[in-house]
């Protein structure tokens, strides 16, 4: 028997990388998982999480298929495709795109899902941030700022939704060898060895390393945990 039998989960950006590993982990615990992505697999849902219309359709389609939503994992985000450069060189348009895809998306998905969870008497939301806002990382100011905003969004939303039995938590991975990262050899070259060297557990971080924390936050074992951020980075940063 799985810990999430009978639960329905939406995982955004779950066609590959960390999102796919999370979707598989939730499914192993018995959840019915909806994979939402810009480029979804055959049985997934195509949705751009920065589009209000797409997000509304994603939730409607989930309800049509499964009748409920118990878990939302906000994982979709822009990272490895972003060029690392001095903040003075970041075009405003790129700054705005990062904020839309990484932060406004979570506002939109939570706004669409929370009424459903309220009607059901509760739910679990997990937002994927990053270790970068805790460490302060140069040359990716839009990204790091967006991931810091996710921690703030998590805490405030947790306070707002506690009375509804809706738990909101955050997981912040370190540099992870996802498909998105591996598709950018220049990023791997720049960050891989330095990240491993900075860790207590000195090996590559892989998408599966993040799964245990996310699954835990979605189970009844975490029913008294909300507003928290778990940094999963092999001991690179300590709170």
Ligand X SMILES: NC(=O)c1ccc[n+]([C@@H]2O[C@H](COP(=O)([O-])OP(=O)(O)OC[C@H]3O[C@@H](n4cnc5c(N)ncnc54)[C@H](O)[C@@H]3O)[C@@H](O)[C@H]2O)c1
Contact 77, 131 (CB under 8 A): no
For residue 230, the minimal CB distance to ligand X (Å) is 12
In the set 79, 134, 143, 175, the catalytic residue is: 143
Q: Give contact residues for ligand X (rule: CB under 6 A).
A: 12-13, 15-19, 37-39, 47-50, 75-77, 79-80, 101, 128, 130, 173, 175-176, 178-181
- Containing 98, the helix (H) or strand (E) segment is helix 92-99
All residues at 6 or more sequence positions from 43 whose CB lies less than 8 Å from its CB, including other chains: 35
Q: Rank residues 53 and 223 by Cβ distance to ligand X and give the closer one.
A: 53
Contact 173, 210 (CB under 8 A): yes
Q: Rank residues 134 and 226 by Cβ distance to ligand X and give the closer one.
A: 134
For residue 16, the minimal CB distance to ligand X (Å) is 4
- CA 103 centroid distance within chain: 10
For residue 78, the minimal CB distance to ligand X (Å) is 6
| Distance separating alpha carbons of residues 146 and 207, to the nearest angstrom | 20
Residue nearest to ligand X (CB): 180
Q: Rank residues 19 and 123 by Cβ distance to ligand X and give the closer one.
A: 19
For residue 191, the minimal CB distance to ligand X (Å) is 8
Q: Rank residues 32 and 209 by Cβ distance to ligand X and give the closer one.
A: 209
| Distance separating alpha carbons of residues 44 and 24, to the nearest angstrom | 13
The answer to whether 79 is a known catalytic residue is no
Contact 133, 189 (CB under 8 A): no
Residue 39 in tokens: 């480029």
For residue 68, the minimal CB distance to ligand X (Å) is 22
Q: Rank residues 65 and 159 by Cβ distance to ligand X and give the closer one.
A: 65
Beta strand residue intervals within 47-194, DSSP E = 71-74, 123-128, 166-173
Nearest CA-CA partner of 169 in 209, 221, 118, 99: 221
> Which residues are annotated as catalytic?
143
């Amino acid at each position: 028997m799985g810990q999430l039998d009978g639960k329905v989960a939406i995982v955004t950006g779950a066609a590959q990388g960390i999102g796919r590993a999370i979707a598989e982990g939730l499914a192993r615990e018995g959840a019915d998982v909806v994979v939402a992505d810009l480029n979804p697999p055959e049985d997934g849902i195509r949705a751009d999480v920065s589009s209000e219309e797409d997000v509304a359709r994603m939730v409607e389609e989930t309800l049509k298929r499964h009748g409920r939503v118990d878990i939302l994992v906000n994982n979709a985000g822009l990272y490895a495709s972003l060029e690392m450069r001095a903040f003075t060189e970041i075009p405003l348009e790129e700054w705005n795109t990062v904020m839309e895809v990484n932060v406004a998306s979570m506002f939109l998905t939570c706004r669409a899902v929370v009424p459903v969870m309220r009607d059901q008497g509760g739910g679990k939301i997990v937002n994927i941030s990053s270790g970068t806002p805790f460490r302060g990382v140069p040359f990716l100011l839009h990204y790091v700022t967006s991931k810091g905003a996710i921690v703030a969004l998590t805490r405030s939303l947790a306070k707002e939704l506690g009375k509804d039995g809706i738990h909101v938590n955050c997981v912040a991975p370190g540099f992870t060898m996802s498909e998105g990262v591996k598709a950018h050899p220049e990023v791997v070259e720049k960050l891989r060895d330095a990240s491993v060297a900075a860790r207590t557990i000195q090996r590559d971080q892989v998408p599966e390393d993040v799964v245990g924390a996310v699954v835990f936050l979605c189970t009844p074992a975490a029913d008294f945990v909300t507003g928290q951020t778990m940094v999963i980075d092999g001991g690179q940063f300590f709170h």
